[in-house]
Chain A
Amino acid sequence: MRPEPVRFAGFRTLLYKEILRFWKVSFQTVGAPVLTAVLYLLIFSHVLDRHVTVYGDVPYTVFLVPGLVMMSVLQNAFANTSSSLIQSKITGNIVFMLLPPISYREFFAAYVLAAIVRGAFVGMGVILVSLLMVSLPVVAPGWIIAFALMGGAILASFGMIAGIWADKFDQLSAFQNFLIMPLTMLSGVFYSIHSLPPVWQTVSHLNPFFYMIDGFRYGFFGQSDVSPWVSLGVVSACFVVLAILTLSMLARGYKLRA
């Protein structure tokens, strides 16, 4: 007898598969990014901690930790969706996800959520290791969670767009190196934009990644370069735009269904 299909089981299975996929190689997908972030922390704190304070009396190393955490969340959320999709496309096993009755919305939600989970694992890893070196205040945990989720979702969507669009790893790498990396590095991970000349402050305000980092940092220090509500508005708008774009690509079957 054929068993009755369980509602949303396709979505849940795809989510589980995407989490299992990165977890099976967690040394590479979680351990390595945590190590990279900690190395940044060690080097920058050694060089700058005695010379720089931010928001009045916050030591540079403490200021740096939330930025590194968010940077890790963003980069790994992007890496999860983009690498999974392009690998599946190139090896051809994407067919296993396209043949079943999974809607494009379920497909999107499963990939994005799995990417957020990976970002959260890496972010938590960076926080835990950092706590061995610094004491980190937490003023508003709600903002921390909100920006981690929204930032992860934005970069997961970005990763989906890149993974669907790219036909080879080279193109994906270009997307990562020429768009994601500069936007991340110039978003205020390593500095407060108030330390920049006015023109660069203005340019920074055009970078959506700046709002993700700034809002996330507000949750730790209760201080930020712009209001967290403004940041949340910008970040939410970005997510809506990217989600609509990704969903429309999936609905049309762009580069997935001929």
Chain B
Amino acid sequence: MSAPAIRIAGVRKRYGQLKALDGIDLEVQQGEFFGLLGPNGAGKTTLISALAGLTRVDEGELAVMGHDVVADYRQARRKLGVVPQELVFDPFFSVREALRLQSGYFGIRRNDTWIDEILASLDLTHKADANMRMLSGGMKRRVLVAQALVHRPPVIVLDEPTAGVDVELRQGLWQFIRRLNRDGHTIVLTTHYLEEAQTLCNRIAMLKAGRVVALDTTDNLLARFASRILRVRLSAPIGLDFLPGARDAGHGWVEIPFESYGEVEDMLSRIRLTGGQVEDMVLGEPDLEKVFMGVMHEA
């Protein structure tokens, strides 16, 4: 059996009294599009930094494609591409120089064919010779992605890559990342945009105070923690005790959870029979935000 793309076992890290990572166990299989979610300070960036060798853990083991990040750091780092959260760049160099240097750091020289391909995919070809200082924030973000890919790592970690990025660029970036995932790259994503995580990730781990508080496929999490919602606005208030889980959502709206669309007709007819008149109606799909709020509240 092939090694997991990422293996994290019993990882703990303290900063003084603060437990940044408090016994994390996690495996990400090859080819997954994996989401790492959590509120600010949950330990996401610390965990990514530990994986990348930027932070040393107090206890536990981390491996990338079967290579321990400490004992076999050269192989582990070759297998990993990290897009950092901060918009960092070296003001001395052009985009192409920055990519050539990054490629060289990973031991790959004369890599211009691949560099040109990445530049084209990220719509940066026309900026290849521009100094990094001259680029907009969105373009700098794309260069960070390019730098993480320059050594063709099988595992790519993106730490909030769309923070402060406009909608068009975000869509383009996700299209590109999805293509990489289809080509076999394992993707690990942290983001505060839960819609993105719900759309993109097959599996999700939620962190709180340095611990994994939920870990499952996106579908299972949605099924377990969130249900479909029927929202109706009634012409006049009526008692809805006969509909389990119904609650007043304000401004004349009532929310009623349900499992399958087959129940909707029945719920509407029961409202009509009780004398209720539906003026407006919305069907809501379960969303990750509700799951997230639920998990964080429970944990």
Contacts and interface: CB of A to CB of B under 8 A. Distances in A.
B108 A5 contact: yes
Contacts of B237: none
A258 B49 contact: yes
A133 to B, nearest CB: 34
A102 B53 CA distance: 11
A206 interface: no
Nearest to B82: A99
A13 B54 CA distance: 20
Nearest to B87: A92
Interface string A4-22: 0111011011101100110
Interface string B146-163: 010001100000000000
B104 A9 contact: yes
A258 B91 contact: no
A2 B109 CA distance: 12
Contacts of A24: 92
B74 interface: yes
A101 B88 contact: no
Contact of A100 (B77, B86, B92): B77
A257 interface: yes
Contact of A92 (B49, B88, B97, B101): B88
B232 interface: no
B105 interface: yes
Contacts, number: 93
Contact of A101 (B54, B55, B106): B106
Interface in B36-88: 49, 52-56, 73-75, 77-78, 80, 82, 84, 86, 88
A97 B58 CA distance: 23
B142 to A, nearest CB: 16
B175 interface: no
Nearest to B107: A5
Contacts of B107: 5-7, 9-10, 101
| Interface core residue of B56, B74, B82, B92 (most chain A CB under 10 Å) | B92
A93 B54 contact: no
B90 A257 contact: no
Contacts of A20: 92-93, 97
A5 B106 contact: yes
A161 to B, nearest CB: 20
B52 A99 contact: yes
Contact of B108 (A6, A88, A99): A6
B121 interface: no
Contacts of A135: none
A14 B89 contact: no
A169 to B, nearest CB: 16
A181 interface: no
A3 interface: yes
B30 interface: no
A253 B75 CA distance: 19
Contacts of B90: 88, 91, 93, 96
A131 interface: no
Contacts of B92: 20-21, 24-25
A32 interface: no
Interface in B86-125: 86, 88-93, 97-98, 101-109, 111
Query: What 8 A-B pairs have minimum CB-CB distances, sorted nearest first?
Result: A5-B107, A13-B104, A100-B105, A101-B74, A92-B88, A9-B107, A101-B77, A258-B55
30 contacts: A2-B152, A3-B108, A5-B78, A5-B107, A7-B107, A9-B106, A10-B104, A12-B104, A13-B101, A13-B104, A20-B92, A21-B92, A25-B92, A92-B84, A93-B89, A95-B54, A97-B105, A98-B53, A98-B54, A99-B53, A99-B54, A99-B77, A100-B102, A100-B151, A101-B73, A101-B77, A101-B106, A257-B55, A257-B56, A258-B56
Interface of A: 2-3, 5-7, 9-10, 12-14, 16-17, 20-21, 24-25, 88, 91-93, 95-103, 253, 257-258
Interface of B: 15, 49, 52-56, 73-75, 77-78, 80, 82, 84, 86, 88-93, 97-98, 101-109, 111, 147, 151-152
Given A3-B111, A257-B53, 8 more contacts: A25-B92, A92-B86, A93-B88, A93-B90, A96-B88, A96-B102, A97-B105, A257-B56
